[in-house]
C-alpha cells in the first residue's frame, strides 16, 4: 500500500511526458513543412539577442506597466519551477520535502521566496484578467480575437492563479501538520504568506489536514504537467518558442528586403553582371514558385514565427494601416499561418490530403485586401517582443499575387511596368528625368 502513491505518480508523470513528446514531435514536423533556410551566421550576435530580448524581456519595457506585471510572472515561472523539481523527486521517492534535510536553515528562506513569487504571480494574473475583461484594452478585442483566443488567454491566467493557491494551501496545511508531528512532516520553519491561510484549517484533525495537504500537492503537480501539455496547443507556447525564435531572428537592418535569388540571377544575366566567382549558379531542377501561396512556400522560420506568436497584439496596435480602419492585422497574419500549419499537420498525421485539401493560406485564410493594405513600414516587426517578422510573410504573399496571379491593383501594375521600362514609378523616359531642372537654369540665367 505504501507504494501506491509512487506508482500513481510514475503513471501520471510518464503519461504527461509521452503526450508532451508526441506533441513536440508534431510541432517540429509542422515547422519542417516550410522551405529550408540556412541560419547559422553571426552566432555571437544571435546569443546576445536571445539574452537581451528573450531572457531579458528588453522589448517588453516599451510599455512599463504590462512589462512589470509580465516580469513578475516570468520570474515566478522560472523560480517556482525549482520547487516543482522537489515535487517530482518527492513523488518518485515517496518522501516529503526531500531537499529540507540537506538545505537546513536555507530551506525556509527559499520557501518564503517561492511564496513571495507565488503571490506576485497571483497579483499579476489578477491584474491581467482585469485589463482583459473589465478595462477591456482595445488590442485584446480586435476582430481576430474570437471566442477561443479570448478563452485561451483567460483560461491560462485562471489556471496560474489556481496553481499558486494550491501551493499556498499545501504549505498552510503542512505548517499545521509539522506542529502535530505525524510521519514525514518534519519541521521546516514558518512561511509568511501561507501563514495567513492557517486559520482556515485550525481545529482540523490530522487525517483531514493530511488529506488537504496531499490533495493540494497532487492538484499542483498534476496541474503543472497538464499545463505543460496544454501550452503546446495554446498561444502560451511562446513560453518555450520565444528563445529559439529570437535566436534565429533576422539580423539585417529593418527595411532591407530580401531579394528572390531566381529573379536576381536573371536580372544579373540580362545586365551582363557576372556572379561572384565567375560561375553562374546551377539551374534549379524544377521551377520554383514566385512568392508564397501556401505554408510550404514559406520558410521553416516563418512557420516557427507563427508558433512563437504571443497574440499580445502589440504589432496590430502599432500598425498604421490597422489604425486607419484597414483589414490588415499583423497578429491575424501570424494566427492564420499557425492555424493553416496545424490544419495541414493534423491532416497529414491522420493520412489525409494535407496541402491538397483544396485550401491555401492565401485567399482561404489571408485575403488580398489584408496584404494590400500593408505599407511595409516595419512597425509590426519593431513592436514584437519576441522578434517575429509578420512582414516577411506578407512580402511573400504579395509576390505571389503580383508575379503568379497578376492580381495586384491596376495602379500597382502600372507602377511596376513603369519601373521596369522607365526605372521610375512615373511614365516618362529616363532621358527626361532631369527636365524639371531646365526652368531653374533659365531662371538663374
Over residues 120-138, the pLDDT tens digits come to: 999 999 999 999 999 999 9
Q: What is the pLDDT of residues 31-74, one digit of tens each?
A: 999 999 989 889 999 999 999 999 999 999 999 999 999 999 99
Q: Which residues contact 169 (CB under 8 A, 6 or more apart)?
A: 194, 197, 212, 216
Owner of C-alpha cell 514531435: 25
Q: Domain end: 210, 235, 260, which one?
A: 235
Is the model's pLDDT at 284 over the cut of 70?
Answer: no
Is residue 330 in a domain?
yes
**CA distances for 349 relative to 24, 237, 296, 307, 412, angstroms:** 13, 20, 16, 18, 41
Residue 344, classed as helix, strand or coil, is helix
**Number of structural domains the chain divides into:** 2
Helix axes 64-93, 147-180, angle to 10 degrees: 50
Q: Using alpha carbons, select from 302, 303, 305 the residue that is nearest to residue 386.
A: 305
For residue 368, what are the domain limits? 289-417
Residue 291: phi and psi, rounded to 5, are 80, -160
Identify the CATH number of the domain in which residue 365 sits.
1.10.1060
**Domain co-membership, 231 together with 294:** no
**CA distances for 42 relative to 53, 56, 158, 379, angstroms:** 16, 20, 41, 24
Compute the C-alpha angle 180/181/182, nearest 5°: 100
Tell me what the pLDDT averaged over the chain comes to. 90
Is residue 369 in a domain?
yes
Is the model's pLDDT at 381 over the cut of 80?
Answer: yes
Four-residue CA torsion sign, 71, 74, 78, 80: positive
Q: What is the pTM of this model?
A: 0.90
Is residue 398 in a domain?
yes
**Domain co-membership, 230 together with 295:** no
365: left (phi over 0), alpha (psi -120 to 50) or beta: alpha
Q: What is the pLDDT of residues 140-186, one digit of tens each?
A: 999 999 999 999 999 999 999 999 999 999 999 999 998 887 777 87
Amino acid at each position: 500500500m505504501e507504494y501506491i502513491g509512487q506508482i500513481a505518480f510514475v503513471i501520471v508523470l510518464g503519461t504527461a511526458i509521452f503526450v508532451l513528446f508526441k506533441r513536440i514531435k508534431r510541432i517540429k514536423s509542422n515547422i519542417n513543412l516550410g522551405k529550408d533556410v540556412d541560419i547559422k551566421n553571426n552566432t555571437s550576435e544571435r546569443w546576445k539577442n536571445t539574452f537581451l530580448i528573450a531572457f531579458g524581456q528588453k522589448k517588453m519595457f516599451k510599455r512599463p506597466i504590462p512589462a512589470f506585471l509580465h516580469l513578475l510572472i516570468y520570474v515566478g515561472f522560472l523560480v517556482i519551477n525549482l520547487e516543482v523539481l522537489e515535487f517530482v523527486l518527492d513523488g518518485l521517492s515517496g518522501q516529503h520535502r526531500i531537499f529540507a534535510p540537506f538545505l537546513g536553515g536555507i530551506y525556509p528562506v527559499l520557501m518564503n521566496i517561492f511564496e513571495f513569487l507565488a503571490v506576485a504571480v497571483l497579483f499579476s494574473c489578477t491584474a491581467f484578467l482585469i485589463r482583459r475583461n473589465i478595462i477591456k484594452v482595445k488590442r485584446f478585442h480586435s476582430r481576430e480575437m474570437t471566442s477561443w483566443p479570448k478563452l485561451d488567454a483567460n483560461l491560462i491566467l485562471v489556471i496560474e492563479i489556481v496553481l499558486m493557491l494550491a501551493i499556498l494551501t499545501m504549505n498552510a496545511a503542512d505548517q499545521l501538520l509539522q506542529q502535530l508531528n505525524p510521519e514525514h512532516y518534519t519541521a521546516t520553519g514558518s512561511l509568511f504568506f501561507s501563514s495567513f491561510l492557517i486559520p482556515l484549517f485550525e481545529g482540523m484533525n490530522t487525517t483531514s489536514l493530511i488529506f488537504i495537504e496531499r490533495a493540494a500537492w497532487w492538484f499542483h503537480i498534476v496541474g503543472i504537467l497538464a499545463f505543460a501539455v496544454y501550452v503546446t496547443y495554446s498561444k502560451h507556447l511562446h513560453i518555450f518558442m520565444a528563445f529559439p525564435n529570437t535566436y534565429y531572428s533576422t539580423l539585417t537592418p529593418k527595411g532591407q528586403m530580401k531579394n528572390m535569388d531566381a529573379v536576381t540571377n536573371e536580372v544579373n544575366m540580362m545586365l551582363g553582371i557576372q556572379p561572384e566567382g565567375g560561375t553562374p549558379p546551377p539551374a534549379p531542377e524544377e521551377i520554383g514558385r514566385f512568392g508564397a501561396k501556401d505554408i510550404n512556400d514559406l520558410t521553416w522560420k516563418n512557420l516557427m514565427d507563427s508558433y512563437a506568436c504571443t497574440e499580445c497584439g502589440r504589432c496590430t496596435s502599432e500598425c498604421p494601416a490597422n489604425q486607419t480602419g484597414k483589414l490588415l492585422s499583423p497578429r491575424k497574419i501570424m494566427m492564420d499561418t499557425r492555424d493553416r500549419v496545424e490544419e495541414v499537420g493534423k491532416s497529414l498525421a491522420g493520412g489525409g490530403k494535407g496541402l491538397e485539401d483544396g485550401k491555401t493560406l492565401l485567399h482561404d485564410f489571408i485575403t488580398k485586401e489584408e496584404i494590400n493594405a500593408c505599407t511595409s513600414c516595419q512597425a509590426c516587426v519593431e513592436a514584437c517582443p519576441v522578434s517575429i517578422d509578420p512582414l516577411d510573410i506578407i512580402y511573400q504573399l504579395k509576390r505571389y499575387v503580383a508575379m503568379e496571379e497578376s492580381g495586384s491593383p491596376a495602379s500597382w501594375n502600372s507602377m511596376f511596368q513603369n519601373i521596369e521600362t522607365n526605372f521610375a514609378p512615373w511614365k516618362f523616359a529616363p532621358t527626361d528625368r532631369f527636365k524639371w531642372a531646365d526652368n531653374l537654369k533659365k531662371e538663374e540665367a
